Structure 1
């Protein structure tokens, strides 16, 4: 039974779902880093919110961990590079709190425009300062949405309902999608110049960190109002404070901060700033939704192999997983075969998906092929970190798809270029979804791969088969299957032999010394 740790406060629905799915679960919120590090090695999965910090030290101690699930969008508290290097899948739940976060941004925009927090406090203090809290309408104003993904598009929809004009900057927003949303797509400088309100809904990346700084604020309209319910690192707080004091920025509504928990901050106490303590996802509905989603996603990954909302590996839906399963076995065999026979440094990898294979979600198959290829050569390589390992070692990986059907309805071909040669191996699935190798180095043959195999390249000359059979017979090694192929008469030939047990070193030496043999490899699958 797989075992999951919930290390942060989370809706009870998460633990219920894990248990209903047959996953053992422990709930231990509030542990110190030392306590977490001491116990994390027991678990296959770790479910967190924002309190737990899955640092490199924690990940190094997580010797059995396969998946980290973040109940929410942001994964600033998870060291994704360390998790990837350790072969741990990291997933989040980007949709469970999208509406809640979008509604909070709209609420902050209203609060800022009508001075609601300050007016509420003044009124409850027994004052009646009606003229002091003169506000502005949202109607007809231009809202600039920076980041028009899931949350940003919901904010845009709500703003359009308020009869605002919405412009958006997002490098991944297509013109067709912009029309569908009813927004005008702009470059960032144009958005800054036109917007009366700017609402941030982008993750932290190298290109978005400190996107609201003095230089960009200078490009904005006088009297602009800024709303940040995304990430604190998007705003240079010192620059925003200066612009608020000068009046260039009329007001700001801030839910997130560079340093959290923000018990003090240079923006606190300013009359034209509305602040909340990172409440974007804080509704009953959102907390239940993200808890349900993270438990379902982690269970599906641990029990079925399906991958949803992963940040460091390709997604595989629960519907795709059964279709991909036999191809995953084929991919593992092709990659492992190539890895076991490769003796020099790999320069490039090309994977061709043909026929029915071309219609599949090929990204996980490529990851599995790389896992099989690199596994015999390097330690601790798996489906999650194999693409990263290949990239770090300068291996160029390319994929191609072609839906043509030639000799086989479905075909996967792996071509490896090393420092010395180029070698390819191709495989297919037969009617019972059993993987078969159908070509090695351009030589056609049909072979199933068993646990113990001998791969032999030899000169196509009489006497080889008899001599080979005699050696194995004398060693009392039984032959399960014997497959042969050649490129031309008396040219290069290949033998792929399944045997019932591994050969001793002495027997291997005898095979290698056969006059026709040029290469012998004992393979294990």
Structure 2
């Protein structure tokens, strides 16, 4: 039974989802980093909001951890790089609080435009300063969106309904999507010069940190206003305060700060500045939605392998997972075989892997192939590098400069479905191919261009030899004399008298003395024990 730890406050309904689906769950919010590290070891999953910091040190103390689920969109509190390197899936819930956060941004824009917080405080103090609070209309104004993804697009929709002109800077926004939303796609410099209001809806990355820097704030239209309900760190807060004091900007509304909880800020105490304590997702509906969503996503992954809204690996829907599972196993086994055969010669510098190519033919070509390729990469790299799985395999390959190619062949060949994996080093290229039989059973059908039909077994011996009389007898006698039982025996050859392959399924691991004896037999070129 998988075990999940909830270390931040989540809806009780999320706990019920885990338990109803047969997952053991513990709820322990408010733990210190040291306390969390002390108890994390047995857990397969960790569900968090924003309070828990999922650091490299925490993951090093969690050898069984398979998934981190963030109830919310931002993963600033999760070390995604360390998680990926350790093969831990990181999921978020990008849609659960999108409407709530977008509505908060619109509310902040209204509050800023009409000075509502100051007007409310003044009126409650017994004053009637009607002439002091002169606001501006949103109608006809230009709203500039920095980021136009899930939340930004909702803000755009609401702003268009308010009859605002909406422009957006987002490198990932297509012209077609911009047209659908009724927004104009622009460059950042153009947005800064034209927008009356700028609302930020971008993640915090090295590229977006201080995107509203002192220089960019100075380039903004005089009298413009800034709204940030996305992430602290997107705006230089000190520079923003200076721009408001100088009169260059008319005001700002912030729900997020570079340091949270924000006990002090250069913006505090300034008029025309609206501040809220990270309330973007603070509605009953959003809290419930993200909790239920993260629980379902984590349970799907732990129980079926389905992956939704993952930051660091391809998505696999709950409907796809059962269908993809045997193909992923086939890809893993083919990769494992190629990786183990390559590892034998990998100690030589010119035998380092340079390229991995995966070809899909027949029925498999119509499936979601990204997780299959990730499984194949994990199979290849695991024997060479140790702790590699589907999550970190693409990253590991990229870091080592290994070229990865995926090819789809729509033609139908001898098999209804076929996966071919090729590994190229500085000295050779080796390929292995496989198919599924009886619907879901992986079978090897080709090695180095030689046809050989064999089912995979936990322990196997791969032998290449010269195709000449006497080999099979001597080989069988060597194993028999050592008391090694042969479970399956498969042969293949390139041509009569040419290169041949012998693939043997064994009941257990091949003892080193017996392996050495096989390698010294006449006609044997190579003998490699395989483990799957």
Measured against the shorter chain, the TM-score band is over 0.9
Which SS does the other structure have where 2:212 is aligned?
Answer: coil
Show CA shifts across 1:252-292 (max 9, x none).
11111111100111100110111111110000000000000
Matched with 1:178 is 178
Cα separation, 2, equivalents of 1:407 and 1:185: 50
Identify the match of residue 440 of structure 1 among 436, 447, 454. Answer: 447
- Of the three residues 351, 357, 362, the one matched with 2:364 is 357
- What's the secondary structure of 1:370's corresponding residue? helix
* Distance apart, 1:504 and its partner CA: 2.6
Cα shift at 1:196? 1.0
Counterparts of 1:258-269 in structure 2 under 5 Å? 258-269=258-269
Q: 2:383 aligns to what SS in structure 1?
A: coil
Matched, 1:375 2:382: yes
Q: Does 1:511 align with 2:496?
A: no
Range 473-482 or range 56-65, more displaced: 473-482
Distance 2:104 2:508 in 1: 65
Query: Corresponding residue for 2:338?
Result: 338
Q: Partner residue of 2:412? A: 405
- Greater shift, 427-436 or 192-201, is seen at 427-436
TM-fit CA distance, 1:34: 1.0
The aligned counterpart of 1:329 is 329
Separation (CA, whole Å) in 2 of partners of 1:504 and 1:11: 55
Which residue of the partner structure matches residue 198 of structure 2? Answer: 198
Shift of residue 14, structure 1, vs aligned partner: 1.0
Deviation at 1:470, TM superposition (A): 2.0
Range moving further from structure 2, 496-505 or 102-111: 496-505
CA distance in 2, matches of 1:280, 1:449: 53
State the Cα distance separating 1:201 from its structure 2 match: 0.3
Work out the CA distance in 1 between the residues paired with 2:388 and 2:211: 37
1:489-511 per-residue CA deviation (whole Å, 9 max, x = no partner) reads 22111111112233333322221
Matches within 5 A, 1:256-335: 256-335=256-335
Mapped partners of 2:14, 2:184: distance in 1: 40
User: Are 1:95 and 2:98 counterparts?
Assistant: no
Distance in 2 separating the partners of 1:514 and 1:11: 67
Aligned residues: 525
Q: Deviations over 1:36-70 (max 9, x none)?
A: 01001121111100111111111111121111110
Residue equivalent to 1:112: 112
Structure 2 gaps of 5+ residues are 347-351
Counterpart Cα distance in 2 of 1:200 and 1:504: 63
CA–CA distance in structure 2, aligned partners of residues 125 and 386 of structure 1 = 62
* Counterpart residue number, 2:77: 77
**In the aligned structure 2, how far is the partner of 1:404 from the partner of 1:221?**
58
Equivalent position of 2:349 in the other structure: none
Q: Which runs of 5+ in 1 are unaligned?
A: none
Q: How far apart are 1:309 and its partner, in Å?
A: 0.7
Aligned to 2:148: 148
The alpha-carbon deviation at position 198 of structure 1 amounts to 0.7
In 1, Cα distance between equivalents of 2:285 and 2:510: 62
129-138 or 364-373, which moves further after superposition?
364-373
- Is 1:488 equivalent to 2:475 in the alignment? no
Paired with 1:38 and 1:503, the residues of 2 have a C-alpha distance of 40
1:432-464 deviation per Cα after TM superposition (whole angstroms, max 9, x unaligned): 321111111111121111122111111111221
For residue 312 of structure 2, give the secondary structure of its aligned residue in structure 1: coil
2:103 is paired with a residue whose SS is helix
- Corresponding residue of 1:246: 246
SS at structure 2 position matched to 1:495: strand
Stretch deviating more after TM superposition (184-193 or 465-474): 465-474
When normalised by structure 1's length, the TM-score is 0.98
Q: Which residue of 1 aligns with 2:221?
A: 221
Deviation of the 1:299 alpha carbon: 0.5
Q: In 2, Cα distance between the equivalents of 1:472 and 1:277?
A: 73
Quote the residue 1:23 is aligned against. 23
SS of aligned partner of 1:253: strand
| 3-state SS of paired residue (1:212) | coil
| Deviation at residue 324 of structure 1 after TM alignment | 0.5
CA distance in 2, matches of 1:337, 1:458: 18
1:451 matched to 2:458? The reply is: yes
C-alpha displacement of 1:356: 1.6
Distance 1:64 1:477 in 2: 35
Moved more, 512-521 or 474-483: 474-483
Higher alpha-carbon deviation: 184-193 or 228-237: 184-193
Q: Calculate the TM-score normalised by the size of structure 2.
A: 0.97
**SS of the residue aligned with 2:433?**
strand
SS of residue matched to 1:232: coil
Shift of 1:214: 2.1
Instruction: Point out the more displaced range, 52-61 or 146-155.
Output: 52-61
- 1:33 is aligned to 33
2:484 corresponding residue in structure 1: 477
C-alpha separation in 2, matches of 1:218 and 1:80:
34
Q: 2:396 aligns with which of 389, 394, 403?
A: 389
1:331-373 deviations in Å (ceiling 9; x for gaps): 1110110111112122221111222222221121122112211
SS in 2 for 1:41: coil
Q: Secondary structure at the match of 2:199?
A: strand
